[in-house]
Chain A
């Protein structure tokens, strides 16, 4: 019930295309769903996040779609660029022992080819 399942494991997209990464969860106690972007040798950086009372959130070329009934959420990267090539992690947050705990997906390695 604590898992967050992320797919695909790797993704190749042509420049200008749409990158789509999916995540699914079981625990309905999760209350916040962030996405992180990680470049090689660097720490993850918060990209965009959504709460379950919202079905979609857009920031620039990045959009989160959230389906509460299906317990799924996804990241869409529009007009993908080579600079978007990175590993992307979804996460889900729940309260555990008075602390807000993040559960991470396994990551998706995105390669955008010119």
Chain B
């Protein structure tokens, strides 16, 4: 089945630790995105990538890093510099950046 797979579904981080969230898509989409969702708030854009080996900062990129070495993969690293990492993280993709975005089922990150 075609779709966007995020793993793990739940993730726990210790203070001072970096963690990496996985996002894989088999839709052959060029563009991929990472959003953060907090209770009572809309989705906020962390990073986006329009094509392999290229990515741009979104509105809240501080404390996060990404890579786009393969078309189907766009992992997000939450670094120790992110002071409030507890949130629901959503990955999305679209055929091109001007096409509708489709979302994965998210990873919920919590701090131990």
> Quick one: given A97-B56, A100-B97, are A43 and B104 in contact (CB under 8 Å)?
yes
Q: Which residue on chain A has the smallest CB distance to residue B45?
A: A101
Specify which chain A residues have a CB less than 8 angstroms from the CB of B43 in the assembled complex: 44, 89, 102, 104
B42 near A43: Cβ-Cβ < 8 Å? no
Asked if B74 CB lies within 8 Å of chain A CBs, one says no
B48 near A99: Cβ-Cβ < 8 Å? yes
Partner of B100, one of A6, A43, A46, A101: A46
Interface size class of A (residues with CB under 8 A): 20 to 34
Nearest-CB distance from A87 to chain B (Å)?
A: 10
- A50→B104 CA distance, assembly (Å): 23
Nearest-CB distance from A106 to chain B (Å)?
A: 5
A43 near B50: Cβ-Cβ < 8 Å? no
> Quick one: given A89-B42, A99-B50, are A43 and B56 in contact (CB under 8 Å)?
no
- Mostly helix, strand, loop or mixed at chain A's interface? strand
Specify which chain A residues have a CB less than 8 angstroms from the CB of B97 in the assembled complex: 98-100
Asked if B90 CB lies within 8 Å of chain A CBs, one says yes
- Contact mask A93-114 → B, CB, 8 Å, 1/0? 0000111111111110000000
Residues of B within 8 A of A (CB): 4, 6, 40-45, 48, 50, 56, 90, 92, 97-98, 100-106
